[in-house]
Structure 1
Amino acid sequence: MGNRLLYLANGAQRISAARLDERFASEGMEVDIHWAYRDEFPDSLDGYTGIFLSGSPHGAYEDIPFILREHDLVREAAARGIPMLGICFGHQILASALCGRDQVFRRDGCEVGFKWLDVHPAASGDPLCRHLGARMHMFVWHNDEVRADHPDMRIIASSDLCPNQIWRYRDMPVWGIQGHPEITMVQARAWFESSRARLERDGADLDELMRTASEAEDAKTMLRDFAQLCRQ
């Protein structure tokens, strides 16, 4: 049984405060981190049973060498049927690579805060989302957005301001999550404080963020189920 996960780190730091590498490792995955932001990519996708794509300060529409290279990797992985999960920028570059670069756009304003998302019927029977209820709670923070009108997208969850918060590519094992299901309450407090200036510039109130924060346990089931899918 394979369990090797390619972790594409797209951020300015190789590992984020959420330590998703450790979460996936705790679920039985052998995590192979490549710092894509610094143009570190594997020579081959052979042997990987799953791919995780992290967030980034960049936009999926930017003509930056690592982003263009990652587009090619996503398309190759999809052709091979390798399961993929993207969060934030990862969600966006999956859409850009598989559904067209016009699918990702810059919003007029930032959506930021702990939001209640409406879960759609597409979640029923879905390998990652079948445990979600009619609504789910999750932290979101994004200035870029993925459109929700592409025929190859199954829209699984929406917010009041963003119709595509979670999506799946056709019936393939490929999912994008706009928000941040990985953040724990403890991590949230530290992350928000360290990002205070950017959050406030984007319209957030830190006191309100902590007042409305939750562990988002429903959302975290998607991470667990993705690891389980990759181990099969």
Structure 2
Amino acid sequence: MSRKLLYLSNGPKRISVARLDERFASEGLEVDVHWAFEGEFPEDLSSYAGIFLSGSPHGAYEDIPFIHREHALIQDAEARGIPMLGLCFGHQILASALCGRDQVFRRESCEVGYKWLDVVPEAAADPIAGQVGGRVHMFVWHNDEVRADHPDMRVLASSDLCPNQIWRYRDRPVWGIQGHPEVTRAQAQVWFEDSRPRLERDGAEVDALKRSATDAEPAKTMLHNFARLCLQ
């Protein structure tokens, strides 16, 4: 049985401050990082038990070679039945690849901050979201958004400003999470300070964000459950 997780890094840093590669490795997965942002992709997907897709400063609708290549990889992986989880941009490019490029759009304003997400009752039976409860708290920061009205999407959670915060593709092992359940309180202090100019441009009050940061442990159950799914 494969224990190998393909980690597609879509950002300007190979690995973010959240060190999700280490988190997934601690779950027993062999993490194979490919820096998609710099054009690194595997030649074949047959050895992978799962795929994780990270965030990015880009939009899933942009005409950039790595984004086109990632769309094709997602479609190949879905046809093979490989479990996939995307966060932020990863959530968006999964929607774009599997439900159409018109599913992702630029918001009129940024949604940023720690938010309570309302979780649908059906999520209690979901393989990765089943432990988050009726509401789940996490940090969100996005200027792009995934529409919530596609027939192949099962929307599992929403915020007051975004109706599609967590979704699943049909009954397939594919999930997108708009927010950032991966970030701990300690990591948030570093990330928010490093990102201060961009956060302030997007309307956030950085010192208040740092004070309100939490470990978001209930949200992290989704990461754990995804890893368990990949190891089945």
Unaligned runs of 5+ in 2: none
Distance in 1 between the 2:208 and 2:6 partners? 36
Aligned match of 2:99: 99
Mapping for residues 42-191 of structure 1, pairs under 5 Å: 42-191=42-191
In 1: Cα distance, 2:152 partner to 2:82 partner: 17
Structure 1 unaligned regions, length at least 5: none
Corresponding position of 1:9 = 9
Whether contact under 8 Å (2:110, 2:142) holds in the other structure is yes
Aligned-residue offset at 1:43: 0.6
SS in 1 for 2:86: strand
Specify the alignment match of 1:194 in structure 2: 194
Shift of 1:213: 1.8
Query: Which secondary structure state, in structure 2, belongs to the residue aligned with residue 124 of structure 1?
Result: helix
Indicate the residue corresponding to 1:212 in structure 2.
212
Does structure 1 conserve the Cα–Cα contact (< 8 Å) formed by 2:116 and 2:137? yes
Preserved contact between residue 96 and residue 104 of structure 1 (Cα < 8 Å): yes
**Structure 1: distance between partners of 2:78 and 2:122:** 20
Task: Render the CA deviation track for 1:25-47: whole Å, top value 9, x for unaligned.
Answer: 00000000000011110010011
User: In structure 2, how many angstroms separate the alpha carbons of the residues matched to 1:33 and 1:122?
Assistant: 33
Aligned length: 232
Q: In structure 1, what is the Cα distance between the partners aligned to 2:108 and 2:102?
A: 16
Structure 1 runs (4+) deviating above 2 angstroms are: none
Deviation of 1:210 after TM superposition, in Å, equals 2.3
Identity %: 74
Structural RMSD (CA) = 0.7
How far, CA to CA, are the matches of 2:15 and 2:212 in structure 1? 26
What TM-score comes out, normalization by structure 1 length? 0.99
SS of corresponding position for 1:95: helix
Matched-pair contact (CA < 8 Å) for 1:122–1:154 = no
Contact in 1 for aligned 2:109/2:143 (Cα 8 Å):
yes
**Distance apart, 1:124 and its partner CA:** 1.9
Q: Is the 8 A contact 2:153 2:168 kept in 1?
A: yes
Give the distance between the partners of 1:122 and 1:34, measured in 2 at CA: 34
Amino acid at match of 2:85: L
CA contact (8 A) 2:124 2:133 kept: no
Secondary structure of the residue that 1:180 maps to in structure 2?
coil
Question: How far did residue 207 of structure 1 move?
Answer: 2.4
Q: What residue number does 1:203 align with? A: 203
- 1:26 is matched with 26
Q: Could you say what secondary structure the match of 2:77 adopts?
A: helix
